[in-house]
Amino acid sequence: MAERKKIIIDTDPGIDDAMAIFLALQSPEVEVIGLTTIYGNVYTTLATTNALHLLEIAGRTDIPVAEGSHVTITKGTKLRIADFVHGTDGLGNQNFPPPKGKPIEQSAADFLTQQASLYPGKVTVVALGPLTNIALAIQSDPAFVKNIGQIVILGGAFSVNGNVNPAAEANIFGDPDAADIVFTSGADVLAIGINITHQVILTDADRDKMAKSNGKLAQYICKILDVYFSYHHDAYSTKGVYLHDPTTLLAAIDPLLVTYVEGVVRVQTMGITRGLTLFYNKQKRFGEVSEWCDKPTVKVAVTVDAPSVVKLVMERLMHS
Ligand SMILES: O=c1[nH]cnc2c1ncn2[C@@H]1O[C@H](CO)[C@@H](O)[C@H]1O
């Protein structure tokens, strides 16, 4: 078998984060070498607690958890926390007992730079929350963008409306300055926006099938999914939930599940379109010197094999 891809999941668990983490642990193609935490669906402290809890549920307390930033890259403390999507505990208001484990001493950014330099070109970061930790890693170690294999981002709304407001998707809106640093860093970035993840829907019937299986992790996920389903029923007219984080995780494992285009992405950091991700396809050579010139390109997903993604998510959680 080919060498397993090393992945670090930067996460704000989060119901769909829990699904993605379990999915990664159930995926023979990858080796999860650490979780790093960030605010977004919950505050960072709770993200760390939930990450440790999820590893205990999965019996994988050997995997280190490094706590990330509590503030944005510009030291902003007015965070937008999506507890209305995931419940106040981030995990469907189940009030699980606190985990026994503790995070490691290293910060998320330090852990990221250290692992990337230990295994140059071999580590994939799957970034499921605002991009503060990744931007801090880029700023603190000039070698990071070369050392890191790929950064697969759940973030952005490319040519579609956002989910925070018509302009912005939640993870980019959480720290637009950090996102712009990551997109223009020169690292190998693959962005999975909500133009992709809104095509990947777990239906009520899919959930019932998972609930009836004997899979331990499927059972756990079905318990926490109620809150996520009711939010989607209220906010969208879909009969099911969007699989944002699991889709991103699977795109990191198997690039053939998505197709992408390459171009420059910049993030609006101010005004009513704060958090907007704008893709420049490089089809026109502009005469004027601007903030778009000489910026490295990134990959932006444009299609997804949604049935295969849903099937893989369900199968892997049910066989646990
Ligand atoms: O309406 C929303 N507002 C804020 N966050 C959301 C919303 N819908 C989903 N997410 C969360 O943000 C990420 C995708 O943008 C996902 O982690 C999802 O759970």
Residue 317 pLDDT greater than 80, yes or no: yes
Q: What percent of the chain has pLDDT over 90?
A: 93
Say what the pLDDT of residue 1 is.
Answer: 61
- Model pTM above 0.95: yes
First to last CA, the chain: 21
pLDDT in tens, 124-147: 999 999 999 999 999 999 999 999
Three-class SS state of 253: helix
Q: Give the whole-angstrom CA distance, residue 190 versus residue 208.
A: 32
Task: Tell me if 248 CB under 6 Å of ligand 1.
Answer: no
What's the CA-to-centroid distance between 75 and ligand 1, angstroms?
Answer: 22
Given CA atoms 139, 147, 34, 80 in this order, what sign does their dihedral have?
positive
pLDDT in tens, 144-169: 999 999 999 999 999 999 999 999 99
Among the listed residues 53, 86, 232, 244, the single catalytic one is 244
Nearest atom (ligand 1) to Cα of 171: 15
Closest residue CA from atom 18 of ligand 1: 244
Q: CA of 237: how far to CAs of 170, 198, 201, 241, in Å? A: 19, 12, 12, 10
31 forms beta bridges with: 6
pLDDT in tens, 290-313: 888 889 999 999 999 999 999 999
Residue 229 pLDDT greater than 90, yes or no: yes
What is the residue-averaged pLDDT of the chain?
A: 96
Strands (E), the chain: 5-11, 30-37, 65-66, 123-127, 150-154, 189-192, 201-203, 240-242, 258-267, 277-280, 298-304
Say what the pLDDT of residue 287 is.
Answer: 86
Residue 237 pLDDT greater than 90, yes or no: no
What's the CA-to-centroid distance between 163 and ligand 1, angstroms?
Answer: 7
Q: What is the arithmetic mean of pLDDT over 260-289?
A: 94
Say what the pLDDT of residue 76 is.
Answer: 95
Rounded to the nearest angstrom, the gap between the alpha carbon of residue 198 and the centroid of all alpha carbons in its chain is 14
CB burial of residue 88 (10 Å; 0-12, 13-18, 19+):
middle
Q: CA of 51: how far to CAs of 4, 17, 66, 122, 271, in Å? A: 22, 9, 10, 23, 34
pLDDT in tens, 94-116: 989 999 999 999 999 999 999 99
Q: What is the CA radius of gyration of the chain?
A: 18
